[in-house]
Amino acid sequence: MFKESFNEILAQEEGGFTLVELVVVLAIIVVAIGAFLARQSATSQSSRVMTEAGNLQTVVGKINSTFAGRTSYAGATTAFLLAQGAFPTSMVSGTNVVNGWNGNVTVAPGAGSTSVDITYADVPSSACIEFVANTSKSYRTVTVGSTVVKTTAQAEADLSATQAACTAAATANVIFNAAS
């Protein structure tokens, strides 16, 4: 009788999974989900960079059309341009202008008011290098934090300096200097 009961228990256990097997399966599932989420995050970051590059180009185009025929960018402020509808609606949050990483975007006349500075605050280091590399060609100068990574309109952004400035902190302020 004892032998029959023991055989019944063994027969029941053979049909199910052991605890070790379940842990292994769960570990594989967790790793797969982690890999999927990491890939989605990277894709999302690249998409956000491209969106912000397009937004920046739109803003500069609106600024240049608003100040066309003028000798300076005096008066080119965030508030003035917000009232002119110069920012894509996706960037407008009440009376603030924000980028895709929820940092403020501000506009101010550059030195001597012959250009305009557009500052993107709180760009994550994971997006900063790609953002600068994808946008810098169109601007006179580009500054990341306190480091000027593009010194003239004809120069290219120094990617080594960009990487160092972008990774110096979790986020960076990026200033694009533009003129028509």
- The predicted model scores a pTM of 0.75
Give residue 176's pLDDT.
96
Condensed to tens digits (0 to 9), the pLDDT of residues 52-78 reads 999 999 999 999 999 988 889 999 999
Residues 92-140 pLDDT 10s: 999 999 999 999 999 999 998 899 999 999 999 999 999 999 999 999 9
pLDDT at position 1 over 60? no
Residue 38 pLDDT > 70, yes or no?
no
Mean pLDDT of the chain: 87
pLDDT-derived band at 11, boundaries 50, 70, 90: low
Q: List domains and CATH numbers for the chain.
A: 10-178 (3.30.1690.10)
For residue 42, pLDDT beyond 60: no
Confidence of residue 13 (pLDDT cuts 50, 70, 90): low
DSSP letters for the chain: -HHHHHHHHHHHHHTS--HHHHHHHHHHHHHHHHHHHHHHHHHHHHHHHHHHHHHHHHHHHHHHHHTTT-S--TT--HHHHHHTT-S-GGGEETTEEB-TTS-BEEEEE-GGGSSEEEEEEEEEHHHHHHHHHHHGGGSSEEEETTEEEE-SSSSPP-HHHHHHHHTSSSEEEEEEEE--
pLDDT greater at residue 51 or residue 37: 51
